[in-house]
């Protein structure tokens, strides 16, 4: 398959791995945060870590849209589906994310709520057209990649005068989240999280371009390399970061030139700014309230805003107490540091969002990475015998 196979080539991977080994200074560690869940997935799915020297470490960031949605917003979605008798359309991953008291959309569906899994906003529009007597709500989540399609859906609904379609908007913004992590006490003062550079998002950057990262490369002195999602993209980008770190540079570089330009997709940006505006503040799972980190639907399109159309009650939303998702999303802890990991929390019965999505760090560790734990556990077992 063109544009895929060449980025998974075993010989090329060996060559890049060798270059990394040559260039990484054995006297230090390189802590690379991959912001995107897509990168986390690629690192584990292809076993990229096996080709890296010990002192090049990946710190998993919060860029998994399912993972960062706070429980409160999920509880609201469940309430909209159950109380207001709507057809709630959602992307598949959201279905199994546990809300307060483990209530998830899939459980609400089993109890009779009309919840439909869709693959795109077009499906949600089709469902609205085919069910003119029902209210259809699209549960919109995601970073800048999924925002333009939601904007298109809202504009289409307006053009077609679809009166029964609305959007529960939870779109969030990447640059403000990265900035927030870099300003967090763990990074700035406590030093519990060491980040030497970032693998920048690939698909997000195809929309917003590489320019938005210039600010914190400069401000925080951290190099950023925008990286594609294939395993060789990740490895090549890690090499580019290692070179920058070795040379004391902190620039924004673009490894993913086959897709990303510096200004991004202007048409998509225009669509988004037509339909959405910044929220003053939005809560993220793990990061807490982050100013200007999310979008809401503009007043012009208020008719399509589910938050305006459906009342939701005040509620005390709560995550499972010992779930470490918040700390994992900030890069402070690893999935294996969580007491629940692999015991009560597995992809089959997730306690927290990071175990649900294939882009979540816990799911990636469990699904692809358990052999590492086994390898680590084996010598201990022998010693005990």
Partner 1 sequence: MNAITPGISHRKGAVDMAHGGGGRAMAELIDDLFRRHLSNSILDQGNDAALFQVPAGRLVMSTDGHVISPLFFPGGDIGSLSVHGTLNDVAMAGAKPLYLTAGFILEEGFPLADLERIVASMALAAREAGVPIVTGDTKVVEKGKGDGVFITTTGLGVVPEDVHVSAERARPGQAILLSGSIGDHGVAILSKRENLEFETEIKSDSAALHTLVADMIEAVPGIAVLRDPTRGGLAATLNEVARSAGVGMHLDETTIPVKPDVAAACELLGLDPLYVANEGKLVCLCDAGDAEKLLAVMKAHPLGRDAAIIGKVVEDDAGLVEMETEIGGLRVVDWLSGEQLPRIC
Interacting residues with partner 1 (CB under 8 A):
1, 4, 8-10, 13-14, 44-51, 96, 118-119, 123, 126, 231-232, 346-348, 358, 366-371, 374
| Cβ(303)–Cβ(297) below 8 Å | no
CB of 16 or CB of 80, closer to partner 1: 16
What's the closest the beta carbon of residue 72 comes to partner 1, in angstroms? 24
Q: How far is CA 261 from each of CA 143, 177, 250, 364, 382, rounded to the nearest angstrom?
A: 18, 21, 19, 29, 53
CB of 117 or CB of 327, closer to partner 1: 117
CB of 315 or CB of 371, closer to partner 1: 371
What's the closest the beta carbon of residue 231 comes to partner 1, in angstroms? 5
What's the closest the beta carbon of residue 196 comes to partner 1, in angstroms? 22
What 8-state DSSP symbol labels residue 321?
T
SS3 137: strand
What's the closest the beta carbon of residue 104 comes to partner 1, in angstroms? 11
| Cβ(199)–Cβ(32) below 8 Å | yes
What 8-state DSSP symbol labels residue 182?
H
Where do we find the tokens 């004391």? 248
DSSP notation for 144-173: TTTHHHHHHHHHHHHHTT-TTEEEEEEEB-
What's the closest the beta carbon of residue 235 comes to partner 1, in angstroms? 8
| Cβ(65)–Cβ(97) below 8 Å | no
CB of 226 or CB of 232, closer to partner 1: 232
CB of 96 or CB of 222, closer to partner 1: 96
Write the CB contacts of 88 (distance below 8 Å, at least 6 apart in sequence): 77, 80, 81, 105, 113, 114, 115, 116, 137, 139
CB of 192 or CB of 336, closer to partner 1: 336
CB of 194 or CB of 346, closer to partner 1: 346
What's the closest the beta carbon of residue 157 comes to partner 1, in angstroms? 18
Query: What is d(CA 36, CA 64) in angstroms, rounded to the nearest whole number?
Result: 6
Tokens of 331: 């890069």
Query: What is d(CA 254, CA 207) in angstroms, rounded to the nearest whole number?
Result: 14
DSSP notation for 11-37: HHHHHHHHHHHHHS-TTS-EEEEEEEH
What's the closest the beta carbon of residue 118 comes to partner 1, in angstroms? 7
What's the closest the beta carbon of residue 107 comes to partner 1, in angstroms? 13
CB of 233 or CB of 283, closer to partner 1: 233
| Cβ(256)–Cβ(226) below 8 Å | yes
């Amino acid at each position: 398959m063109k544009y895929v196979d060449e980025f998974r080539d075993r010989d090329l991977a060996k060559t890049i791995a060798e270059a990394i080994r040559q260039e990484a200074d054995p006297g230090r560690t390189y802590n690379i945060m991959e912001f995107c869940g897509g990168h986390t997935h690629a690192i584990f799915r292809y076993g990229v870590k096996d080709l890296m020297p010990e002192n090049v470490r990946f710190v998993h960031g919060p860029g998994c849209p399912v993972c960062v949605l706070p429980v409160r917003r999920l509880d609201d979605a469940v309430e909209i589906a159950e109380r207001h008798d709507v057809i709630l359309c959602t992307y598949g991953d959201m279905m199994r994310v546990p809300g307060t008291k483990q209530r998830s959309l899939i459980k609400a569906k089993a109890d009779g709520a009309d919840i439909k899994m869709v693959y795109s906003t077009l499906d949600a529009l089709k469902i609205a057209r085919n069910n003119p007597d029902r209210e259809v709500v699209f549960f919109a989540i995601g970073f800048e990649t999924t925002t333009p399609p939601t904007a298109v859906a809202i504009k289409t609904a307006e053009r077609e005068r679809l009166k029964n379609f609305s959007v529960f908007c939870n779109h969030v913004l990447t640059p403000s989240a990265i900035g927030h992590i870099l300003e967090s006490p763990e990074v700035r003062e406590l030093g519990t999280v060491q980040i030497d550079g970032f693998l920048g998002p690939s698909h997000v950057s195809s929309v917003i371009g590489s320019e938005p990262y210039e600010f914190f490369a400069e401000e925080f002195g951290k190099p950023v390399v925008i990286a594609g999602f294939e395993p060789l993209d990740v490895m090549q980008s890690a090499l580019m970061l290692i070179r920058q770190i070795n040379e004391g540079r902190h620039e924004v570089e673009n490894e993913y030139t086959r897709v990303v330009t510096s200004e991004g997709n202007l048409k998509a940006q225009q669509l988004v700014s037509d339909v959405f505006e910044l929220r003053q503040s939005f809560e993220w799972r793990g990061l807490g309230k982050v100013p200007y980190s999310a979008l809401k639907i503009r007043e012009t399109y208020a008719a399509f805003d589910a938050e305006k159309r459906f009342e939701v009650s005040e509620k005390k939303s709560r995550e499972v107490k010992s779930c470490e998702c918040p700390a994992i999303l900030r890069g402070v802890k690893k999935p294996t540091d969580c007491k629940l990991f692999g015991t009560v929390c597995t992809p089959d019965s997730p306690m927290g969002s990071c175990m649900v999505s294939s882009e979540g760090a816990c799911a990636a560790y469990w699904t692809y990475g358990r052999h590492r734990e086994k390898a680590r556990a084996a010598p201990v077992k022998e010693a005990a015998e």
